């Protein structure tokens, strides 16, 4: 098969039933924070709140099954250089940097504070996952073409298996949403599923 054939966009992305083993899997909830997912947030992505319920459904299933749950927070110091690109957002210690109330971490769940798009960059995420013998990551959150995609690339470079529930990832523009999912599927070999087709097995 040639590169043009591999990279050709399909008419429709294939979404499958997926079963994961809780002991070997972690649910990553990426940057579902007030500044991004609340209408009064500083960098609100219009419509982002629609992924809260699909993520909550997966989260409840993960908790019942005993899977590892990890939240990431975009977390910036005052006058962070990234603000030249996006404007001020997710400043450490502010309401905007906090995870939305509907998805608040439970006791014992892990929160990773990250300075940039990739949740592996300058964080202990890889160490935590390896210490728990986790090989499969379920990626949810926002934005699909920024922090979710960069984290997916970071995970793939470290040989993690990727599962992406398409209704639990938000991207502002449909083209960016489809193209980022396509990249994760075709290039990073992520399995695409949905919140109602993802199950936690034995």
Distance, in Å, from the CA atom of 88 to the CA atom of 96, rounded to the nearest integer, reads: 10
C-alpha span between 20 and 92 (Å, rounded)? 34
pLDDT digit string, tens, across residues 124-166: 999 999 999 999 999 999 999 999 999 999 999 999 999 999 9
Task: Give 110's DSSP letter.
Answer: E
Domains, the chain, in order of start with CATH, read 15-200 (3.40.50.850)
Beta bridge partners of 114: 74
pLDDT at 12: 64
Q: β-strand 136-142 against 161-165: which pairing, if any?
A: parallel
Preceding omega of 168 cis (within 30 degrees of 0): no
Q: For residue 182, give both structure tokens.
A: 């396509």
pLDDT of 44 above 60: yes
The pLDDT of 4-15, averaged and rounded, is: 58
**Backbone torsions φ then ψ of 48, nearest 5 degrees:** -60, -30
pLDDT band at residue 20 under the 50/70/90 scheme: very high
Q: What DSSP letter does each residue of 24-53 carry, written as one string?
A: GEEEEEE--BHHHHSTTSTT--TTGGGGHH
- Terminal Cα distance for the chain, rounded: 36
Place of tokens 């992406």: 164
Q: Which residues are catalytic?
A: 31, 114, 147
Instruction: Give the rounded percent of residues in the chain with a pLDDT score beyond 70.
Output: 94
Read off the pLDDT of residues 67-121 as tens digits, 9 standing for 90 and up. 999 999 998 888 888 888 888 898 999 999 999 999 999 998 999 999 999 999 9
């Amino acid at each position: 098969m040639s590169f043009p054939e591999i990279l050709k966009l399909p008419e429709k992305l294939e979404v499958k039933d997926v079963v994961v083993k809780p002991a070997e899997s972690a649910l990553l909830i990426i940057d579902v924070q007030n500044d991004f997912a609340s209408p009064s947030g500083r960098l609100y992505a219009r419509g982002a709140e629609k992924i809260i319920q699909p993520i909550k459904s997966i989260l409840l299933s993960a908790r019942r099954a005993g899977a590892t749950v990890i939240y990431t927070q975009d977390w910036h110091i005052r006058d962070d250089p990234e603000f030249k690109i996006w404007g001020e957002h997710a400043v450490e210690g502010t309401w905007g940097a906090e995870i939305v109330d509907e998805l608040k971490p439970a006791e014992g769940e892990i929160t990773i504070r990250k300075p940039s798009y990739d949740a592996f960059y300058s964080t202990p995420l890889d160490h935590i996952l390896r210490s728990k013998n986790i090989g499969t990551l379920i990626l949810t959150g926002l934005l699909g073409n920024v922090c979710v995609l960069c984290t997916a690339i970071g995970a793939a470079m470290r040989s993690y298996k990727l599962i992406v529930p398409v209704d639990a990832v938000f991207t502002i523009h449909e083209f960016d949403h489809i193209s980022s999912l396509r990249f994760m599927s075709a290039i990073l070999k992520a399995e695409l599923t949905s919140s109602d087709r993802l199950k936690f097995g034995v």
